Amino acid sequence: MADFSFPVEAGQIMLFARAVGDPNPVYADPVAAAASEAGGILAPPTFVQVAAHYDPDWQLRPEEGKPWFGSGRTASGVTQTEPHGGGPGGGLHAEQHFEYHRHPRPGDVLAVARRPGDTWEKSGRRGGRLVFAEVISEYRDAAGELVITARNVVVRPERTVDAGAAG
Amino acid sequence: MSLRSGDLTVGECHTRLLTQDLTRTQLVMYAGASGDFNPLHTDDVYAREAAGYPGVFAHGMLTMGLTARALTDWVGDGRLTRYGVRFRSQVWPGDTLSTRLTVTAVRDESGQSVVDLDVVTVNGAGDEVLRGYATARVD
């Protein structure tokens, strides 16, 4: 979990807002956003997920010269060692929590510091064992002020995928 | 737009349609914007043949992002102080999704009026796909 930082950019905010189906001008139109209560473009509530693009350790991004587990000539570019994808795709997103100290704006550069949280186990509805692992991420601005604290929980099913997690 | 604490009643609900037909293209857009290129969400061949699912399904974070619109359209921009969810079941292409927001408290937090909300997103069959909470500053 290397620390890294990323720039908050207006273009990426626009693309992200489109990707979550939100035409609110506060995410795309600098003039309308300036005239609104927000006073300018700001990032949508789940925007900091884009940090994945800048995360040097992010495994869910193809990397030139390395095998990729998605399909090409065959259904997967790697040998599947676990059911339901295994590998970097084997975990599913079970929970996500954000605490907003303020909402990021274009021009912010956010430093991301991550640390592991709790881990726990549960029995799945269809018999397998589910292993939950929490990661806490702190996003700080250039002044070192906390902007967002995030907590995500990933579940790794040991046998079958349970409906308690949805990706 | 902004909400006023005096106008809010515990128990009041707001329901908002998010999509009537979630497309695979929306999943591709979310993958590109977010950087989560897990082929489970964009690569039907992989999802079916390698991973054993009926096909691609939505990123949980896409459902959380779609649901956020119901929140911000109602509470206003830049007003959320907390938003958290559990992903309850998978969201598939073709799904209809709607969100129900329920006021659970109107209270004071360090001298600021805030509203607490229950957040539930359901599919067309009425199954919960996401359940969570949010807190927003109100006037």
Tokens of B97: 């999704």
How many Cβ atoms sit within 10 Å of the Cβ of residue B6?
Answer: 10
Residue B15 lies in a domain: yes
Q: Is B40 part of any domain?
A: no
Would B106 be classed as within a structural domain? yes
Ordered by where they begin, the domains of chain A are 4-62+80-157 (3.10.129.10)
How confident is the model over A151-165, as a mean pLDDT? 70
Do B122 and B97 touch, CB atoms closer than 8 A?
yes
* Domain range for B94: 5-22+58-137
Give the per-residue pLDDT at A158.
Answer: 73
Q: Structurally, how many domains does chain B consist of?
A: 1
Of B92, B52, B100, B93, the C-alpha closest to B74 is B100
B72-94 pLDDT tens trace: 999 999 999 999 999 999 999 99
DSSP string across A70-89: S-SSSS-SS---SSTT-GGG
Task: List, as ranges, residues 27-66 from B with C-beta within 8 Å of A.
Answer: 29-30, 32-43, 45-46, 48-53, 57-66
Q: Nearest C-alpha of chain A: how many angstroms from B125?
A: 15
Return the CATH number at B77: 3.10.129.10
- Domain annotation covers residue B121: yes
Looking at residue A112, its pLDDT comes to 98
DSSP A16-78: HHHHTT---GGGT-HHHHHHSTT-S----TTGGGGGGGG-TT--SS--TTS--SS-SSSS-SS
This model of the complex carries an ipTM of 0.97
At residue B1, the pLDDT reads 57
pLDDT category at A160 given cuts 50, 70, 90 is very low
What are A69's two structure tokens?
């587990």
**B52 within a domain of the structure (yes/no):** no
Answer whether residue B29 is part of any domain.
no
Tokens 């096909």 locate to B55
Chain A residues with CB under 8 Å of B66 CB are 20-22
Q: Which residue of B has its CA nearest to A90?
A: B51
Judge whether B48 lies within some domain. Answer: no
Flag whether B96 is in a domain. Answer: yes
Do the beta carbons of residue B36 and residue B64 sit within 8 Å? no
| Residue pLDDT, tens place only, A81-101 | 554 444 555 688 999 999 999
CA distance A117 to chain B (A): 16
Q: pLDDT tens digits, chain B, 139 residues: what are they?
A: 579 999 999 999 999 999 999 999 999 999 999 999 999 999 999 999 999 999 999 999 999 999 999 999 999 999 999 999 999 999 999 999 999 999 999 999 999 999 999 999 999 999 999 999 999 999 9
